[in-house]
Structure 1
Amino acid sequence: MTGTTASGDGSGRDTGVTQPREKTAQFASTPRGARLARRLAGRCLEEWGHPLASDVSCTVALVVGELAANAVRHGHVPGHDFRLRLVLDEAAGLVRIEVADAAAAKRPPAASPSSCPDGESGRGLFLVDVLAERWGWEPREPVGKTVWAEVPVARAR
């Protein structure tokens, strides 16, 4: 797992403008990697002023968990990890979540409940659609795709 967190303009002085905070990490494309990504998201939100039990922290952790699980289940390519990127933009009132994997999209991800109401899977993107302000996906160069979601947070006062 690797990553960086950026804040401010790098000069060490208060500019009065809040810069987005960012964390990027890479995880093994395994169920354990998905769990670690979810935990990292909770820790980041806590560092950024949103306690683990807060609505925004729980929502971001859930969305990360769903997107990471999808990357592991549907985007796994042997020998390739998945990447998580979190960006807190307080000025916009959003946390942007990006999960990138190495598998090319055969078709756009769909947010529909499982065709089998008693099924144990198939609701992840439906939850993301409900919880996120907006979400989508884009191809990634040289290979793969990035699925992203934006979760609203209370704006700084």
Structure 2
Amino acid sequence: MAGPKTYERGALLLDATYVCTPPHVRIARDDIAHTMLRQGLAERVDDAKLLVSELVTNVVRHCRSLTVRVVARSTPDTLILSVSDDSPALPARHPSSPDDERGRGLFLLDLLTDEWGVGTTDHEAKTVWCCLSLAAGATPLSSTPESAL
């Protein structure tokens, strides 16, 4: 028997389902921030807020899902975030210029996370997940040199 999926490990911190509308992006972002602060995980709260915001926004903009589910789990050294929807459409990279306001979601996943991926189900649904290191020395976006962006 296979072990649990990468995004299903760790202690459950948040499991919330939102209506798939633009105002719920902010609510999801605020929920992850409050959850992390209550758990004493302030060191990566800005990165988690940005990632949840990007992933939920992608669902709102690109998927025909009625709801979006955000789950946060933690291990002693990792925060695991997952965002699920009812669309079979997988995330795709799109070329963007420095002036574009969109098209950087997957770039941010590459930049800020230790690993990320997409899980799918037989019911034409998907989960985009990512892992953020909570270890001392992790470099949050707010302290990343501008030249690295």
Same fold (TM over 0.5): yes
Q: How many matched pairs?
A: 127
Name whichever structure is richer in helix by fraction: 2
Map Cα deviations across residues 93-121 of structure 1 (whole Å, 9 max, x no partner): 1111100011112xx42456x33332221
Task: Give the alignment's Cα RMSD to 1 decimal.
Answer: 1.8
TM-score (norm 2): 0.77
Contact 1:66 1:128 (8 Å CA) reproduced: no
The change in CA–CA distance for 1:141 and 1:37 in structure 2 (over 3 A counts) is farther
Report percent identity of matched pairs: 31
- Which of 115, 121, 134 in structure 1 is aligned with 2:115? 134
After TM superposition, what 4+ stretches of structure 1 lie above 6 angstroms from structure 2?
A: none
TM-score (norm 1): 0.73
Offset, 1:58 = 0.8
Q: Does 1:69 align with 2:57?
A: yes
Q: Does 1:59 align with 2:47?
A: yes
- Which of 93, 99, 107 in structure 1 is aligned with 2:83? 99
SS in 2 for 1:137: strand
Q: Report which structure shows greater RCO (CA 8 Å, sep ≥6).
A: 2
Q: For residues 46 and 121 of structure 1, what CA distance do their matches in structure 2 show?
A: 28
Structure 1 residue runs without a partner (length 5+): 1-18
Structure 2 residue runs without a partner (length 5+): 1-9, 137-149
Amino acid of the structure 1 residue aligned with 2:83: V
Query: Which of structures 1 and 2 has the bigger CA Rg?
Result: 1
Contact 1:111 1:129 (8 Å CA) reproduced: no
Amino acid of the structure 1 residue aligned with 2:56: A
